[in-house]
């Protein structure tokens, strides 16, 4: 069963810029799908294969000029909006691009809020041409299955008020200070780790698991831009009360796991920052399911609240596994997050046992002889961590 989406073709060879642009455009609606091409050849093939409702195009590319893509499109199509986003923004370049029939020109480096503002009316116009209809919506289970093939998102957490004051302090802030301010921002933590690992793995082959390291690698300005893009994510909010309530519970659960895991790890002289990040990510699957179900409601779908928890139990683990791959999280960080839910088998890594113990503690299941043996095996004091069953 079909569902209309605004299909955007993004031609950009800089992966950090591409990810930032994609974060902005996908934040403008749950009905947006982005095809990202890094070369002119790939963009041409994508256009000829599937077309697009909107094209966002860099100018200078490894194998040619973005204007060649504009000419290809305009040869047969004068209606599809085409926007150039380029550092080549002098008057002559802008005039040449306008002569080729582009819709708009946005100069790099761009302000995230400005990009958001310039793209919003373009997308509003496209939606008017394809009004949403709930008549073709599949059942929620099928919607969730279809969404697994798309780029998954978490519900928005940040507000612009939390980010704007930091923009004026960018020269004074350190990576450690930003990591501390954002320590409980699950979606932002995941995004920063994803971007940093895209860079780190290519440069050195070494993964990044600590948010402060990710911010240091990306730089303060890019990290703040990522945060601002998430703060402007109007599609990321949960409006349905039943979804909001469950999101608050999952977020509170993950924050508690993160805090306890960090404290346990530090007491054992382990990497507390990585354990904290893993704890935050331990409920990312359920949060992504809630975001996807909100999109379903936004499109006119109806949910049976009585079956909501069943959907979350069934789809949460699948979404969580998909997100860890999508984000490109290092294997050790994936294992830490997974250990919250499943006891590590034959584990020799104390950090994995710490994560599992933190999950048990938050679930009020860390009591009894077996829990005491596990605490002692890990090197933790049972008198400090063992809880009393209710």
Distance CA 100, CA 103 (A): 10
80, part of any domain: yes
∠ CA 359-361-367 to the nearest 5 degrees? 125
390, part of any domain: no
278 and 345 belong to one structural domain: yes
Residue 154 carries which DSSP code? P
227 and 245 belong to one structural domain: no
Report how many domains make up the chain: 3
279, part of any domain: yes
What's CA 314's distance to the chain center, in Å?
21
144, part of any domain: no
Residue 233: its pLDDT value, please? 82
Residue 97: its pLDDT value, please? 85
Q: Which of 197, 213, 231 is the last residue of a domain?
A: 231
Distance CA 324, CA 247 (A): 19
236, part of any domain: no
27 and 95 belong to one structural domain: yes
pLDDT tens by residue, 109-159: 899 999 999 999 999 999 888 765 545 789 999 999 999 988 888 887 688
pLDDT tens by residue, 329-340: 889 999 999 999
Q: Which of 168, 198, 231 is the last residue of a domain?
A: 231
226 and 246 belong to one structural domain: no
48, part of any domain: yes
Span of 27-31, 194-198, 316-320, 328-332 with lowest mean pLDDT: 27-31
- Whole-Å CA distances, 167 to 192, 218, 223, 231, 372: 17, 15, 10, 13, 48
| CATH code (residue 315) | 1.10.3210.10
* pLDDT, mean over the chain: 90
63 and 81 belong to one structural domain: yes
User: Residue 347's pLDDT band (boundaries 50, 70, 90)?
Assistant: low
122 and 173 belong to one structural domain: no
Distance CA 90, CA 100 (A): 16
138, part of any domain: no
Q: Which of 202, 231, 260 is the last residue of a domain?
A: 231
94 and 125 belong to one structural domain: yes
45 and 107 belong to one structural domain: yes
Question: Domain residues for 14?
Answer: 6-132
pLDDT tens by residue, 35-47: 999 999 999 999 9
Most confident option among 88-102, 247-261, 335-349: 247-261
User: Any residues with CB less than 8 A from the CB of 313 and at least 6 apart, and which?
Assistant: none
Residue 31: its pLDDT value, please? 82
249 and 381 belong to one structural domain: yes
Is residue 217 scored above 60 in pLDDT?
Answer: yes
| CATH code (residue 78) | 3.40.50.2300
1, part of any domain: no
Is residue 229 scored above 60 in pLDDT?
Answer: yes
∠ CA 119-125-128 to the nearest 5 degrees? 140
């Amino acid at each position: 069963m079909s569902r209309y989406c605004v299909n955007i073709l993004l031609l950009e060879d800089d992966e950090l810029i591409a990810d930032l642009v994609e974060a902005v455009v996908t934040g403008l609606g749950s009905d947006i799908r982005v095809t990202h091409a890094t070369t002119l050849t790939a963009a041409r093939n994508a256009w000829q294969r599937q077309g697009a409702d909107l094209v966002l195009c860099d100018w200078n590319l490894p194998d040619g000029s973005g204007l060649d893509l504009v000419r290809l499109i305009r040869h047969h199509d004068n209606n599809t909006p085409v926007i150039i986003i380029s550092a080549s923004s002098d008057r002559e370049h802008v005039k040449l691009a306008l002569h080729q029939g582009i819709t708009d020109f946005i100069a790099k480096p761009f302000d995230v809020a400005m990009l958001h503002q310039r793209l919003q009316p373009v997308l509003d116009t496209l939606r008017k041409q394809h009004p949403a209809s709930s008549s073709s919506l599949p059942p929620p289970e099928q919607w969730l299955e279809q969404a697994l093939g798309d780029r998954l998102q978490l519900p928005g957490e940040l507000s612009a008020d939390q980010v704007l004051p930091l923009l004026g302090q960018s020269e004074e802030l350190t990576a450690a200070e930003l990591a501390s301010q954002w320590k409980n921002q699950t979606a932002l933590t995941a995004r920063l780790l994803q971007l940093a690992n895209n860079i780190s793995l290519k440069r050195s082959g070494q993964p990044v698991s600590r948010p402060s390291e990710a911010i240091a690698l990306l730089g303060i300005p890019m990290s703040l831009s990522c945060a601002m893009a998430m703060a402007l994510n109007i599609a990321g909010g949960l409006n349905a009360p039943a979804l909001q309530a469950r999101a608050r519970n999952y977020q509170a659960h993950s924050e508690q796991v993160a805090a306890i895991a960090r404290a346990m790890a530090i007491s054992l002289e382990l990497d507390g920052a990585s354990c904290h990040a893993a704890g935050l990510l331990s409920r990312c699957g359920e949060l992504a399911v809630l975001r996807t179900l909100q999109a379903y409601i936004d499109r006119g779908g109806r949910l049976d609240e009585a079956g909501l928890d069943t959907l979350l139990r069934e789809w949460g683990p699948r979404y969580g596994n998909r997100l860890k791959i999508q984000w490109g999280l290092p294997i050790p960080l994936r294992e830490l997050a997974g250990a919250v839910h499943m006891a590590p088998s034959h584990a020799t890594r104390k950090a994995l046992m710490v994560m599992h113990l933190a999950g048990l503690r938050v679930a009020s299941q860390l009591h009894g002889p077996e829990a005491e043996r596990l605490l002692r095996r890990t090197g933790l004091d049972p008198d400090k961590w063992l809880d009393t069953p209710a």
